[in-house]
Amino acid sequence: MKFGMRKPSLKRSLKVRTTGRAKRAIKRKVVPGYGKPGMGFVKSPKKSVKNAVYKRTTFSIWDLFK
């Protein structure tokens, strides 16, 4: 498990801000439960716990400027 600062990726940062918005909007309309809190744990508990720990143990370079 990683601890400390995540390596920034400009390519991923731009992609998440542009292409994902339309896909998420469509999926929210079509898939019941998509985007609701706790659904990740229902679908895949092991992955959900791993991601929660990663989020709490690492930080972004942008967090330093807040």
Q: In this model, does residue 59 exceed pLDDT 80?
A: yes
Q: How far is CA 60 from the centre of its chain?
A: 13
Q: How many domains does the chain have?
A: 1
In which domain, by residue range, is 12 found? 4-65
Residue-wise pLDDT for 2-42, tens only, equals: 788 888 888 988 888 887 788 888 989 998 888 888 888 88
Taking a C-beta distance cutoff of 8 angstroms, is the pair 62, 16 a contact?
no
Does this model's pTM top 0.75? My answer is no
Tell me phi and psi for residue 5, to 5 degrees: -85, 135
